[in-house]
Amino acid sequence: MTGYSGYDSGYDYVSAITGCTTEVRGRFAVRGPAFELLADGSVASGGPGRAPGPLDLLVSALVVNLLNVLRAGGDPGTGDQPDGQHDRVVQVRARTSRYPANRLKVGRLLVEVVVDGLSEQDSDALLERYRAGCRVLPAVSTVLDVDIRAVAPAGVAA
């Protein structure tokens, strides 16, 4: 990225992302060392509304974190399952609703989680361990009221 020298060599970066405008007004290219994605500004601020916006990206970060942690056992910060065990199949559905204007938080996020092969009670225990150690959840919770709940497979509509 030319013209920007905000990188301090005293840090050990675990993520390095750059962004730039595109020829489409309100659309932005975001790049990391191994990926590129397009994102839109919010529709209210002139984004075209066809690519994920800032709130979509924030919620996606939580969904990806949930999928990654729960598939491997539910303890944030741990590696893969012990030898001989397979990753769990996990499904997450996240829905955001907006609060009226002039509130501190943007809205409410309902996250429904199905962990294949686990009862709702066992999934609840897994989610409790997740909540206790997750570093992404507090960041999302500053913007949204988050309700994460386990549901039975039949309880999640497509």
128-143: per-residue pLDDT in tens? 999 998 999 999 999 9
The CATH number of the domain covering residues in 53-77+87-158: 3.30.300.20
What are the domain boundaries of the chain?
A: 11-49, 53-77+87-158
Distance CA 56, CA 102 (A): 21
Q: How many CB atoms lie within 10 A of CB 65?
A: 19
Asked if residues 144 and 109 have their Cβ atoms less than 8 Å apart, the reply is yes
pLDDT at residue 79 is higher than 70: no
Distance CA 126, CA 131 (A): 9
Q: 1 falls in which pLDDT band (50, 70, 90)?
A: very low
pLDDT at residue 84 is higher than 50: no
Q: What is the mean pLDDT of residues 68-73?
A: 86
Confidence at residue 101, expressed as pLDDT on a 0 to 100 scale:
87
pTM as predicted? 0.80
pLDDT at residue 127 is higher than 60: yes
